[in-house]
Amino acid sequence: MNRSIRIMHFADTHFGIETYGKNDVTGINSRLQDFKNSLEWAVKSAMEEGIDIAIFAGDAYKNRDPKQTEQREFANCIAKLTEADIPVVMVMGELDMPVLSGRASSIDIFETLHVSGVHIFTKPGLKIIETQNGPIQIAAIPYQYKSRIVDTDNKIDDSTLDMKQLLEAEYAGIIERIKSELFAHPTAPTVLAAHFWAQGAALSQWQESYLNEELEPQINLNDLTDETWDYVALGHIHTFQNLNPGKSPPVIYSGSPYAMDFGETGEKKGFVIANVQKGSADYKFIPIGVNRQFVDIAVNVMGDDPTQEVVRAVQQHKIKGHIVRLTVHLNKADQVFLNDKAIREALSSSFHFTLIMKTNKDKRTAPVTVSDGFSPAKSLSSYIDSQEGLKSRKERLMEAAERLISELSETEEANISWSL
């Protein structure tokens, strides 16, 4: 019986995102620390699961020119695997590629320094890797860019060429070439590790804002469900999912180990452990246990006490140490009753909060015409009667106004100006 190879499959760590963060005494941004904590937790958990190999399916950093600190923190996480003699496969993602052709990618440093046990794929390729539990065959396909595919010397007319189709055809050709070059091995399972968008993959709301299905190539799912592969480890899409449920091979996006923004609120974040042997595979998703959460709270003020209504809504959520966005929808007339200090106090236990006020348009009746002969109280009463959002509070408003008018009337030569 073939032995099973135990794989840690992870991707899209995006070290370097600093939104909502702050620098600590060492100068390290708290969000970088959050990302590192998540990856360290994943690596530690995977090692406790007894993995034989780790496959990283691309996008280590938030951009193609990471800071040295970001590179150091990511390398520290990878080192925990190599120090335990666990081989690591790294496939170049979209954001790992160099800015200009000819430059090194952000993950090339591992190969340059001859880091033992790290296998870098910046080009499509094949490799048999020995693990403590036997050999495994890795077929890797990094992200492909237009500039890497189109030879400008050929003077291809982009106006008549569908670049998306060209890229999709290029990916299909790469897959077919790799399949034809697979090493014949009696026991080694074959894993396809790649960074791209596969047909049918569900995007997070955050990715929907920038991934354009009209331009971004989408790889034919039939090429990925081929019996050639025992397991398909994908990166690029941040949402954990199996594109071939209940069938073989599993076609898995591990998703990202940490939420990027509020557009990924509530999504599962973690990594995958897969048991792969020649001809079959099973897997399980492991959610990260140390994530700082994004908590999105929306309140549509309806009652007579807007402040308490907002505070109660906040108290219904676990916000301590988390990143919070509170959006309050209310009528313009209710703003006077809203205690900003009390609301901020209710949010004070969060790590970071953003408070957004959105004013509803009041439903108005016919415009109010105030006669110069009206007293201030009569003018205010007439105005309140014309505003649907104020009618229920007329008594309270009039009492407050009468006190103010009384105080002002005691001032010598008081000059009261009303603008309704």
Q: How far apart are CA 143 and CA 96, in angstroms?
A: 9
The model's confidence at residue 312, banded by pLDDT at 50, 70 and 90, is very high
125 and 168 together in one domain: yes
At 157, the amino acid letter reads D
Lowest mean pLDDT among 210-219, 342-351, 379-388: 379-388
Domain count, the chain: 3
Contact between 196 and 234 under an 8 Å Cβ cutoff? The reply is yes
Count other C-beta atoms under 10 Å from residue 400's C-beta.
13
Predicted confidence (pLDDT) per residue in 1-14, tens digit: 578 999 999 999 99
Last residue of a domain, one of 328, 360, 392: 360
Task: Write out pLDDT tens, residues 154-195.
Answer: 444 554 358 888 899 999 999 999 999 999 888 899 999 999
| Together in a domain, 348 and 416 | no
Could you tell me what percent of the chain has a pLDDT over 90?
Answer: 58
**Residue 160 confidence (pLDDT):** 39
For 253-282, write each residue's pLDDT tens digit: 999 999 989 989 888 899 999 999 999 999
Using CA atoms, how far residue 48 sits from 15, 40, 89, 247, 249, in Å, is: 24, 12, 19, 28, 25
In this model, does residue 402 exceed pLDDT 90? Answer: no
Mean pLDDT of the chain: 85
- pLDDT tier for residue 33 given thresholds of 50, 70 and 90: very high
280, 353: one domain: no
Give, as one character, the DSSP assignment of residue 283: E
pLDDT at 408 over 50: yes
Going by pLDDT thresholds of 50, 70 and 90, the confidence category of residue 149 is low
Residue 367 included in any domain = no
Identify the CATH number of the domain in which residue 87 sits.
Answer: 3.60.21.10
- Mean pLDDT for 302-314 is 91
Closest to 262 (Cα-Cα) out of 356, 358, 359: 356
Supply the pLDDT for residue 147. 64
Question: 326: domain range?
Answer: 294-360
Q: 220-243: per-residue pLDDT in tens?
A: 999 999 999 999 999 999 999 999
The pLDDT score that the predictor gives to residue 333 is: 80
Classify residue 365: in a domain, yes or no.
no
**Same domain (yes/no): 192, 237:** yes
Average pLDDT over residues 114-131: 92
Q: Which sign, positive or negative, has the C-alpha torsion 76, 271, 264, 193?
A: positive
Q: Is residue 396 part of a domain?
A: yes
Residue 371 above 60 pLDDT? Answer: no
Range in 79-93, 227-241, 348-362, 398-412 the model is least confident about: 398-412
Positive or negative CA dihedral for 240, 14, 40, 295?
Answer: negative
pLDDT of residue 364: 47
> pLDDT exceeding 70 applies to what percent of the chain?
85
Distance between alpha carbon 97 and the CA centroid of its chain, in Å?
Answer: 20
* Concatenated DSSP letters of 72-112: HHHHHHHHHHHTTT--EEEE--GGGS-SSTTSPPTTHHHHH
Categorize the per-residue pLDDT at 56 as very low, low, confident or very high, splitting at 50, 70 and 90.
very high
Q: Which residue has the higher pLDDT, 387 or 355?
A: 355
Boundary residue ending a domain (265, 287, 309): 287
Residues 26 and 11 in one domain: yes
Q: Are residues 119 and 182 in the same domain?
A: yes
Residue 25 phi/psi, 5° resolution?
A: -65, -20
b vs e for 133-158, b when ≥16 Cβ sit within 10 Å of the residue's Cβ? ebbbbbbbbbbbeeeeebeeeeeeee
Residues 215 and 301 in one domain: no
Q: What is the DSSP letter of 57?
A: -
